[in-house]
Amino acid sequence: MKINYYPDTDSLYIELSERESADSIEISEGIVLDYDQEGSIVGIDIDNARKKINLNELILNKLPLDTQKLSA
């Protein structure tokens, strides 16, 4: 999983899979789910992210991670 924030557009993209997006559906104003060919969610795009979520804190709990990579 990758989380990318783009300050110039105030958008946040959560990449859940490296599979290519085949379809997108806006589920709420400014929140779009990307799906692969099989219908699995591969990403979440959030426009005007600072108005919708707290970007000042990220807490990861009980994830079964082999490695952790943090960069700022």
Residue pLDDT, tens place only, 13-56: 999 999 999 999 999 999 999 999 999 999 999 999 999 999 98
Q: What's the pLDDT at 61?
A: 76
- Does residue 11 carry a pLDDT above 70? yes
**C-alpha distances in Å from residue 71, one per residue of 4, 37, 40, 68:** 11, 31, 28, 10
CA-CA distance, 5 to 11, in Å (whole number)? 6
pLDDT of residue 68: 64
pLDDT at 69: 66
> Per-residue pLDDT averaged across 1-18, rounded?
95
By DSSP bridging, strand 23-28 and strand 2-6 are: unpaired
